[in-house]
Amino acid sequence: MCFICVDDVEWEQLDWGDLGWVVRPANVPDASKLVVLDVKIRPGQGHDFHRHPNQEEVILLRSGVVEQWVREEHQELQPGDVAFIPQGAVHATFCAPDAAEPARLFVVLGASHGPDGYETVDMSTEMPWAALRN
């Protein structure tokens, strides 16, 4: 499969938003190097501190505004801004509570890892990550 149409995206609803699986081994069997996601983060929510031990990540903000963390640094991203997350680096993305609509992100991870192509380790309860936004 070389073409993925909008109706082909598999959506997963999470506590903080929606994850659209655009490219991963489960829906594109030849996808061994990349995982591509369409992500929506609801106002006041976020993908809390986590890491991908075996993957680099690129996040392109398509719409909205987010507070993007990479390690212990953070920056407000505007549409068109990009964050690069090195392999294994702890990071997080948050949408402001007063946002008019969900933030929309285009995310690419590589290389594909495991059966879903994606591996994440929650770091939100560990220090210093648990205290960074307080």
Tokens, residue 57: 């990540």
What confidence tens digit (pLDDT) does each residue in 22-53 have?
998 888 888 888 999 999 999 999 999 999 99
pLDDT for 31: 81
Lowest-confidence segment of 27-36, 46-55, 99-108, 125-134 by average pLDDT: 27-36
133: pLDDT confidence band, cut at 50, 70 and 90? confident
What distance in Å separates the CA atoms of residue 23 and residue 35, rounded to the nearest whole number?
Answer: 5
CATH code assigned to 12-131: 2.60.120.10
Domain ranges of the chain: 12-131
1: pLDDT confidence band, cut at 50, 70 and 90? low
Q: How far is CA 101 from CA 15, 28, 63, 66, 97, in A?
A: 16, 30, 9, 11, 10
